[in-house]
Amino acid sequence: MDHFLYRNGQLHAEDVNLATIADSVGTPFYCYSAATLTRHYTLFREALDPLPNLICYAVKSNSNLAVLKLLGDLGAGMDVVSIGEYLRARAAGVPGARIVFSGVGKTRDEMRAALEGGIRQFNVESDPEMEALSQVAESMGVRAPITLRVNPDVDARTHEKISTGRKEDKFGVPISRAREIYARAARLPGLKVIGVDMHIGSQLTDLAPFESAYLKMADLVRALRQDGHVIERLDLGGGLGIPYTRANDAPPLPVDYGAMVKRVLGDLDCEIEIEPGRLISGNAGVLVTEVIYRKQAEEREFLIVDAAMNDLVRPAMYGAHHDIEPLIEPPAGAPMAPVDIVGPICESGDTFAKQRALPFVAAGERIAFRSAGAYGAVMSSEYNSRPLVPEVLVSGDHFAVIRPRPSYEQMLGRDSIPDWL
Ligand SMILES: *Cc1c(COP(=O)(O)O)cnc(C)c1O
């Protein structure tokens, strides 16, 4: 459920008419709903209660400071994959004790900065990373709290580019070698083993791969405890999928996921951490764009819009589907016709949807791409020298620009021409 609905024939974000925001900030722009973000976070909290738990929002899915502040104030922890994300979480007021640091390529500088600033745990992904972290921590006279990310070798059966838990993927250490690597970790002077971590992929629409991974994790926890390790935390990663179409797909809800977690892992006496990104932010955002032209080609009709693949890359990168809604509600029974919705960039990949059935939308009218709150603005670029689009947060009947559109002057001002040219 989300808070982007038609009211009086106009698409609203909560109580704010999206056309009002478009008039104020121009198009394209991202708009997020505070109520939806809050609701999704709360659903996870309720789903995991009464197990001790911390929901570590995956910052990479939408890292705007206002979004982080909203979730942090609700009590969320944060899952970061770079020191830049760490600094964002801290700037949003999240204490280090609620931040976990994931990622296969943490540098020594990043490790040092996180240890200095305070960190809940490092999710370590390889032997060499383990050695490096121990050295950094030792040089600072501290012990770094760690989990090892184990790769359970299950196929998340999701998109190739976001499947991460198979043997051939670059993430984590193989579960078959986990006991041996934990034994080495326990001997390293700069580390303190506190738990186990995994993350098998993103946009999972079925609980079965999670369950088979968690069953393997439960066995591993028992074995590690027998080996003498103290395992207090289980980080289950993120990855629960969201509905990208209103019509028919219905991925499991947080409540189903929580019930499965409790059934499979509830008796291990561990604090549960999860790292949802998409399920919290995905359906909490839309990208609003204006139709520049309708173009009739020989075989098909195009809607050329003022947003492009640099603003929302998911369709080009993953073949992702985003539902599209005109800001003005089409009359009931309005005829639908197939159109291609494309951006202005000179690449055929700059296509948001092909042969999508839409009611007639004239040039100058606006449409919204739904489910654009996760992996939208964060993956955008200024390709074709198109300034980053602004981000807006709505709460109830008010809205605020939480990242303004840079001026052309600002965009150009970031480059410099050496004085020898
Ligand atoms: C990407 C990622 C997440 C978040 O995945 P979602 O599908 O957005 O929930 C969580 N943890 C790790 C380690 C990740 O790489």
CB-CB contact of 149 with 102 (8 Å):
yes
Q: Which region holds residue 262: left if phi is over 0, alpha if psi is between -120 and 50, else beta?
A: alpha
239 close to ligand 1 (CB < 6 Angstrom):
yes
C-alpha 202 to ligand 1 mean position (Å): 6
pLDDT (0 to 100) of residue 2: 85
C-alpha 335 to ligand 1 mean position (Å): 40
- For Cα atoms 140, 107, 125, give the angle at the middle one, nearest 5 degrees: 100
Whole-angstrom Cα distance, residue 217 to residue 96?
Answer: 26
Pocket test for ligand 1, best of 61, 125, 274 (most atoms within 8 A of CB): 61
Which atom of ligand 1 lies at the shortest distance from residue 197's CA? 13
Whole-angstrom Cα distance, residue 59 to residue 68?
Answer: 8
Check for a shared fold between 4-31+282-413 and 34-279: no
In the predicted model, is pLDDT for residue 401 greater than 90?
yes
Q: Residue 344: what residue type? A: P
According to CATH, what is the number of the domain 4-31+282-413? 2.40.37.10
277 close to ligand 1 (CB < 6 Angstrom):
yes
275 close to ligand 1 (CB < 6 Angstrom):
yes
Three-state SS string over 117-164 comes to HCCCEEEECCHHHHHHHHHHHHHCCCCEEEEEEEECCCCCCCCHHHEC
376 close to ligand 1 (CB < 6 Angstrom):
no
Whole-angstrom Cα distance, residue 184 to residue 187?
Answer: 5
Q: Which residues are catalytic?
A: 346
Which atom of ligand 1 lies at the shortest distance from residue 375's CA? 8
C-alpha 3 to ligand 1 mean position (Å): 24
**CATH for 34-279 (3.40.1710.10, 1.20.1740.10, 3.20.20.10, 3.40.50.1110):** 3.20.20.10
Whole-angstrom Cα distance, residue 39 to residue 51?
Answer: 19
Which atom of ligand 1 lies at the shortest distance from residue 279's CA? 9
Q: Residue 75: what residue type? A: G
**Token output for 358:** 């839409």
Tell me the pLDDT tens digit for each residue of 213-266.
999 999 999 999 999 999 999 999 999 999 888 765 688 999 999 999 999 999
Q: Residue 361: what residue type? A: V
CB-CB contact of 125 with 111 (8 Å):
no
Whole-angstrom Cα distance, residue 152 to residue 200?
Answer: 8
C-alpha 359 to ligand 1 mean position (Å): 35
**Token output for 55:** 């929901």
202 close to ligand 1 (CB < 6 Angstrom):
yes
Average pLDDT over residues 9-25: 98
276 close to ligand 1 (CB < 6 Angstrom):
yes
**Token output for 245:** 């179409």
Tell me the pLDDT tens digit for each residue of 38-88.
999 999 999 999 999 999 999 999 999 999 999 999 999 999 999 999 999
C-alpha 189 to ligand 1 mean position (Å): 30
61 close to ligand 1 (CB < 6 Angstrom):
yes
Task: Give the residue whose CA is nearest to atom 10 of ligand 1.
Answer: 238
102 close to ligand 1 (CB < 6 Angstrom):
yes
**Where is pLDDT greater, at 22 or 250?**
22
Neighbours of 17 (CB within 10 A): 16
Which residues is 11 bridged to in the sheet? 6
pLDDT (0 to 100) of residue 300: 92
Tell me the pLDDT tens digit for each residue of 265-316.
999 999 999 999 999 999 999 999 999 999 999 889 999 999 999 999 999 9
C-alpha 275 to ligand 1 mean position (Å): 6
C-alpha 278 to ligand 1 mean position (Å): 8
Strands 336-342 and 324-326: unpaired
Which atom of ligand 1 lies at the shortest distance from residue 241's CA? 7
Of 378, 368, 313, which is closest to residue 3 (Cα–Cα)?
368
Pocket test for ligand 1, best of 60, 106, 124 (most atoms within 8 A of CB): 60
Which atom of ligand 1 lies at the shortest distance from residue 102's CA? 13
pTM for the structure as a whole: 0.96
Query: Reduced to 3 states, what is the DSSP secondary structure of residue 148?
Result: strand
303, 340, 409, 415 from 419: Cα distances, Å: 45, 47, 20, 13
pLDDT (0 to 100) of residue 117: 98
Tell me the pLDDT tens digit for each residue of 341-398.
999 999 989 999 999 999 999 999 999 999 999 999 999 999 999 999 999 999 999 9
62 close to ligand 1 (CB < 6 Angstrom):
no
Which residues is 16 bridged to in the sheet? 13
Neighbours of 1 (CB within 10 A): 11
Tell me the pLDDT tens digit for each residue of 82-137.
999 999 999 999 999 999 999 999 999 999 999 999 999 999 999 999 999 999 99
Residue 171 is classified by DSSP as S
172 close to ligand 1 (CB < 6 Angstrom):
no
In the predicted model, is pLDDT for residue 161 greater than 80?
no
Task: Give the residue whose CA is nearest to atom 3 of ligand 1.
Answer: 238
Q: List the chain domain ranges.
A: 4-31+282-413, 34-279
**Token output for 102:** 């994931």
Of 53, 112, 17, which is closest to residue 329 (Cα–Cα)?
17
281 close to ligand 1 (CB < 6 Angstrom):
no
Neighbours of 388 (CB within 10 A): 17
C-alpha 238 to ligand 1 mean position (Å): 5
